[in-house]
Structure 1
Amino acid sequence: MGKLLCDSTTAAEPFQGSPSAALPWIDSKSPTQIDSIGTTVDLVVPTNLSNGAFTAGGDGWEDVIGLEELQRRHLQRLHAKGVLWKPPEMEDSSSSESDLRSVVFRLSHGGEVSSDGNCLFTASRKAMAVEDIDARELRRRTVARFLVDYGSVSFEEGEAIDDAIRHMYSPDLRFGWGIHVVQEVKLLAKKEDRFSLDSAIDELVHLGMQREMAAESIYKERCIPVNDGQTWAKYMLISGSPDDEYDIITLQYTEEGLLSVDENREGRAAAFGDDIAIECLATEFKREIYV
């Protein structure tokens, strides 16, 4: 997963000029430009450029591990060309808004981040160069922003947010199998309750129930489902640290029934930043984040 992060206050200012891109920008929505160049030109990479144009530079993409050569070349070309940002078109735009011009951003490799549930926050911290704020603090501020916004919306908007959260973390397992092969249900177990939960599971196992079936039964009965804004906030605060209040329990299902139970016994699982977290993080720090 890649993330593109830019300062939204900068993007909103008129374009004052920047170093020219290595490749000319061609607007695929501009009929005049398309007509003038014909229909055989690759809008991503003009065909008259040699392969050697991307071997030098690339702003670090050549050093990124785990990329196939084709992926690496696409990223180098995208870095050379840039990413075009256009101000949104509004029918009732004011004169100041109409003066906004397009901006071309460079897509650069900012460094490696761990591929765990904290990747959104560690990547954002690195991209924003905020040395005085760690990933856990970014989580906390993201959740705090969500709770402020969630508390200010109308009843209908709150219901829509809750529905989206239920769809992601507490799906109705009667549906969705035409799209998903596996669906997950997220539950929150208090760290201080883990011993009593284990004891209850062991009791059912001693009565002859299979371990996974016993665990599913106890966790669904005694743990908190992530199914609304308040429980989402508890979930998104989990960073896989011993200081977390809750552990994440994940139940995986196929259409036939229970597939597995991830009991996260060491408490290291972190909540991955979802679309809601991305929006709240961007709002809190006045950035634009594209994933």
Structure 2
Amino acid sequence: MQAKIVVVGSLNMDLVVRTPRVPVGGETLAGHSFVTAPGGKGANQAVACARLGAQVTMIGCVGHDAYGEILRSGLESEGIDCSSVEALEGVSTGIASILVDDNGQNCIVIVAGGNGELSSEHLTRYDAAFQAADVIIAQLEVPVATVEKTLTRGHELGKTVLLNPAPAVGPLPAHWYGNVDYLIPNESEASLLTGIQVDSLETAAEAAQALLDAGAKRILLTLGSQGVLYKDAQRQQHFPAQVVQAVDTTAAGDTFVGGFAAALGEGLSLDEAVRLGQQAAALSVTRAGAQPSIPYRRELKS
């Protein structure tokens, strides 16, 4: 069964500079290269869902500009329904300025542009997509009220709701947790959500428990090279990561979310869905870029 997934979130043009290291304040540093690539956590997750087997609808906003046209056409080329991606006058398309160092680590500055204009009214216009979905995915690169409406409506309709709380800036509103079936933070996001510094499996488990205590149903805490920790009220399990040589970690988390959602929505078990997401994410970090790094289902081991 092919999963039907709605992704509500951001579309950015990524402006990527590869550099030996991140410069310190006031320093000018010679970089290795510069490229533009389609990105945004919402769009990345939509592409990951589509490449990893799902039927996907994207809901978002871009500017009425060249970057917006490129982003929409790129998603459409992946078979993603973009009829609910609106091009707005008087605002730029969102961008992400990304520095990637020689160790494959990245730091990112985001300008929201059209992403900041995605409103609850947009969601109401496209409610039919919510009704047809199996899985609904949200992140935090669009307005908080829009995320809340996404979670609430998904829960009302009885859909499987995933929230990737990124970029996290602090604790989530307490009433959100009951509307989320799977909360999927990484280490830094879990630290910001709970106040617990996540730097080991033990502290990851503490943070996951704190999120359960706050009202979350199920936690998938992604730990980079340390794998994924799953925790709910009855079960805790660590899924070790595949060992690979990282080139660029951009969109690895988004690839995991997309792979997990696609697999879960088509009826695979939680364990199978986690492992498929991990396998896709491991392959993505061996390639440069956000969406360009996301693998297709046929590339994964059966």
User: TM-score, normalized by length of structure 1?
Assistant: 0.24
Greater helix proportion = 1
Give the TM-score of the pair, scaled to structure 2: 0.23
- Structure showing greater radius of gyration is 1
Higher strand share: 2
Higher relative contact order (CA 8 A, sep 6+): 1
